[in-house]
Structure 1
Amino acid sequence: MPQPLPSPVVIITGGSSGIGRCTAGIFARAGWRVGLIARGTPGLAAAADEVRSLGVAVAVAVADVTDSAALLAAAETLEAALGPVSVWINAAGNGVYGRFVDVPEREFRQVTEVTYLGTVNGTRVALSRMRPRNSGTIVNVCSGVVFHGLPLMTSYSGAKAAVRAFGQALRVELAFERSRVRVSTVFPPAVNTPFFAHAISHMGWPARPVPPVYQPDVIARAIFLAARLGRPEMIISGTVSCFALLSRIAPVWTGLVIRRLGVDGQRGPQQTTEAMPTVFAPSENPSGAYGTFGRHARRWSLQVTLRRFFARLSGTGN
């Protein structure tokens, strides 16, 4: 009897919490073998247990995405345990809140190193595995802030804008060499994850997302779809789609809206737990996929639902 083909492998940076951890569960439920990379051992262990409970193979590796050598070693370890990576997801990121003049240079640089250069490092490692096989998909988790930066998030806005431009340039290079490796960039809205508790705030109040907020499950399902379809860019949620359109056709008006929502929207009723910044060091306790803003967080997106529906009709998604 012919042997069944082994299930594909996904590797996720930032896989111990938030969007990365939720995405691991989505891939696991689809039968994928899952490799997780993060800085903190407790969080990785908890995330691995969660994936393992779904009946699929899982492996973990401790690495900081700002350390390219450690990231390469982590990829080698995970591939040795699971097999060749088919999809690599760059989901690691961090944040510092406050006016640009109030954010110390060291903190600004760290956000850039993790959120932008961490994505670059992860992509470089993924390409080192995929290009020789001329196969694979890289998904970079970006943000809706690329369409108009948010005040009090200058470091994060700049880093995410760089992620988008990096992906655009890289796709052209890969197409020029006729590579079958695909690079997809996804743009989520505000998401209910521990990101805000992990951020440093210089605002005088705790960090919180600008409404509307979505549950990370919505983003994870969209990332899975982006990996399957290999689309160059994918906006997640009608909210971000409208935001992107307005930024293009009415930039002045959009700027006025952002001036109000970008500050006042982060100053609403506080639903946060005690801040546990992880900008420079991982948390000593597992964080999970969800934050403390779930009460009003949206659990689905019409846009993502329709994308999944049409992908199923075409036989490219599930």
Structure 2
Amino acid sequence: MKIRRRSGRPTAGNIDEDCNDKNGKNSLFDSDCGYYHQIIYPLLVSGSEKYLICWLKTIHLIKSKQTCSKKMASGVCNSPMSLIDSKGPDFLQWKCKMCSKKKSIRDDSIFNGLRCNFKDAIRIILAWCKGYHVDDVANMLSLNNSVIEELYIRAASLAEKCMKSNIGDWQIGGPGVIVIVDTYPEGCTNTNMIRMTRPILCISEVKSIPQKYWLEALDRFAYHDTEHINSLKQRILRTIRAVVRPGSIIVTPVRSTLCSHSDFQSLATIYPTIVSVDVLAKHNNDHQNVFTNMETIWKQVLDICEEAQFYCSSYIDLFVVSHMWRAVYGNEAFERLLFQISAMQ
């Protein structure tokens, strides 16, 4: 699956030009502090390839043991395999003790089939966690864009599975906490409408620092297709129930194709206070304007939604996942992702 759709370049997440060359690639990745620098960087120096593989096995990013799957007259071999030296880029491979069948150490892992070495693969995962653009990473690592794209997709897909299976860790709001809901591009204020834009559900706490939000790409729809619109409305309500904690104060547009104030009244038993932006605007004064406040609150989310439109429609879901992952885990995003990869493989 290709990631980039539109011509041009997203504006967010650009890498400093001083590091945007082949000589600067190590300074960009290997100067990263924290878990990466303390644990992984020593394993990326020349001559430490087998130590890196040992570490990958230890934390279960690749299999620590394999059994032979060769089909024989009597059935599947199922004999244990052992590691032997290899002349390939991985330096090691599995070999069956019984029938001598060989197997890549990448099999059944996130690295399977990738045309890059383990060192660069780890750097690519770090780059995804830091929000670097595919073009920059490909240039610095002297790799084809398709390699970066493939690993970005795999990383985002695993992160998405983690989020959905641990939704409680991603909930926002709570009793008395204000949560605003809108859909891009119809709402979120001052959007630059883009032809063939894919709508995105946007949910955000008002006063959390750093900002807590949930973004979910929705299907495109035709305004005359009421059945599809009603289906999307039900999906939004399901997401609200899953993501927003009971007792939150919900703020919605008074009129919207997908999330009007009236559409949320069925949730009144869960969220006793559901108000529209227009009602809040009645309390505007010289010192406070709710619409100006909304622009400020939505600024970060709006930037993400507009950047998302540079990518192919099928990747937008995973693109917003990458932003939510970084927003929740911050400097621990890389370590957390490695843990999730090892837990879900």
TM-score by length of 1: 0.25
TM-score by length of 2: 0.23
Larger Rg: 2
